Structure 1
């Protein structure tokens, strides 16, 4: 195996070089949760049928932050409607959504919610809009630090179909749990517009997702534990890809499965700026701590692809934003990867290691950082610790200068791929290996 959008991408590059962290990995595991970690889920409906479901779409929740300029997370919402568009990787005859208040400071009141087939922009297709319920009620309250899954809804979906989820938030929510880098447009309207077919009322936009962390599907056939979770940082999150085009590498992988006539659950649990070994005050809990919640808890997951560590290397000792990130050694980073592998195996989940992609010419480029990247990649390729390896480094490296990304795959910052680069990454995975 192998915002303006340009301005925002530049900001992401600058900030991913400034990793901000608190708890360094110690003792090889480093699984003690930080002070801001969420408690166990409370108040959620029983999920006895969890094994019948597949992840259609998912994203990792983050604490409110605005490292690139204003978004809606820190202020939250009050008598507003948020409409968000996502694409499911596989289909079914039933659907349900997951909402998260993991980083909320007060209970979150969902006044009402709907799901529909996406039309154009904030519009939805005529006749497709349906009300969601929670424990047979149209409204619900999610305790601070918790998640909530809606009731199952008869709703036929096809693989690679776009759905629109709309939330009406009548009362003040306080700061919002969100996902910073969505590479997709979310829409906001004043008042209650959850049942609107048209998008005229949705006059505000954001390139983040709010509260919505999953769309699950079932009824597409016998339940199978063959879902794929892509876990990582901004290169998994899709920074550098065209917004609203679903060209992140996990999207491209889902398209490859669908093209075979056998769609499969492929969900993206990347967070831009995330590290394996250090918590980030704008880019999420460290990978070894969030892995269990964000990756291993997905329904039907059988394989996790791990592509993470470039921020541990490139951001060491820098701190343009937030708390400076401590130096991370190759040994510490490898220990972090071993922790991820152990966690996956403890759940009976296969772990595929992805080599770290080139940094030559980027803000991470230095002799010391390149030596670390090569050492980590050598370990991923040769240690046998992972169940399989996908050489994403080789997939996008310039054959004439392997420390750099192939120019036609480069988004322009020499760190993040463009659409063609993400396509090449997905193409390098051997589907039979899943």
Structure 2
């Protein structure tokens, strides 16, 4: 039998909200793995797990209908501490409300925060957000490559304690954009990590939280300087062009995915790999892929760094990793990578540089990833490579 712990919004006078977890949303599309974005949901419940890198005694979630073509009707929502898989810790389930109501309608292109819900959570613990959609949603705003299992069940299973009712899974997040936490002073030192699939964590262990932003958050905590680290990577993302599959171009989403994140004090930029790779090959989803120069990439980087600095955000530039042996690699592509990396290392565009390329290169062939760090496709690191990336970042520069 399903049970729940009903709650009302927490009475508070202007609570201070800090970042706990975040992702970058995308338009509905087919992805690298199966997902439910194009079909959406109808009389179904989706349960999603996120691991926070902040702490607090209350939480609120932000739901996004940015790419919806009609209002999104959220019939109900709950928040709980995570147990294993689709299970939640007994006695921790909280009904979420929206302006005091148990349901909400989010306009096409809009977003909505829930009211605060009581929950005590520490950094590196996980929360479970469960959403029920009684009526068809249409295609769903989502994040394709979560590398975290999401669960789906028929009917209203908002407060289900039996995880076996969730008999379908994907590794994407749906409608969920942010989890913010309250219970401490306002922070101004959060780190946003911005980029493509290497930031997103492609090649890392599913449900392992072994992406390089995860490893960076652990390093900061171990050094006695814990702070939220927010992952704004999108697999396949481009610096110069929007993609039907891989999100809006970096400049178009930078405001939403970096500058407007609560408490953002620092950003790590690593993007351009796909612009280089797409422009050298012709595959169906590697579009758009116009010819481009390293100078065009450099100009786009300069625009991002200028916008971050104008917002008072420190910028660490990351060098593009080696990719010899992958489908992206040609002599022209390699020349572009070397030119871009030389500029990242030697220009004064950044407050600091994280030389990921040097840290992960094969010492016997610097144009290739070290075999110990290669996930197997010769362009994405595996878990060990992502730890090495985090180790290459100067924590003091953040």
Q: Does 2:302 align with 1:338?
A: yes
Of 47, 65, 68, the residue aligned with 1:83 is 47
Q: Does 2:348 align with 1:384?
A: yes
Which residue of the partner structure matches residue 349 of structure 1?
A: 313
Q: TM-score, normalised by structure 1?
A: 0.87
Distance, in Å, in 2 between the alignment partners of 1:222 and 1:67 is 39
Let me know the Cα RMSD of the aligned residues.
1.5
Pick 1 or 2: higher relative contact order, CA cutoff 8 A, min separation 6: 1
Shift of 1:53: 2.2
Shift of 1:427: 1.2
Q: TM-score, normalised by structure 2?
A: 0.94
Aligned-partner SS, 1:95:
strand
Of 226, 243, 258, the residue aligned with 2:206 is 243
Which residue of the partner structure matches residue 140 of structure 1?
A: 104
Distance, in Å, in 2 between the alignment partners of 1:335 and 1:311 is 16
Which residue of the partner structure matches residue 231 of structure 1?
A: 194
Deviations along 1:185-211, one digit per CA (max 9) or x if unpaired, are 100000000111221110000111100
Which residue of the partner structure matches residue 253 of structure 2?
A: 290
Deviations along 1:204-226, one digit per CA (max 9) or x if unpaired, are 0011110011111122x321200
Deviations along 1:16-52, one digit per CA (max 9) or x if unpaired, are xxxxxxxxxxxxxxxxxxxxxxxxxxxxxxxxx9993
Distance, in Å, in 2 between the alignment partners of 1:52 and 1:394 is 40
Q: Does 2:390 align with 1:426?
A: yes
Q: Does 2:46 align with 1:117?
A: no
Deviations along 1:131-162, one digit per CA (max 9) or x if unpaired, are 11111111111000011111122221100001
Matches within 5 A, 1:91-130: 91-130=55-94
- Checking the alignment, whether the CA contact within 8 Å between 2:65 and 2:107 is kept in structure 1 is yes
Which residue of the partner structure matches residue 402 of structure 1?
A: 366
Shift of 1:111: 0.7
Which residue of the partner structure matches residue 26 of structure 1?
A: none
Q: Does 2:136 align with 1:172?
A: yes
Which residue of the partner structure matches residue 263 of structure 1?
A: 226
Distance, in Å, in 2 between the alignment partners of 1:52 and 1:329 is 45
- Checking the alignment, whether the CA contact within 8 Å between 1:51 and 1:300 is kept in structure 2 is no
Matches within 5 A, 1:63-78: 63-68=27-32, 70-78=34-42
Distance, in Å, in 2 between the alignment partners of 1:105 and 1:302 is 34
Number of equivalences: 386
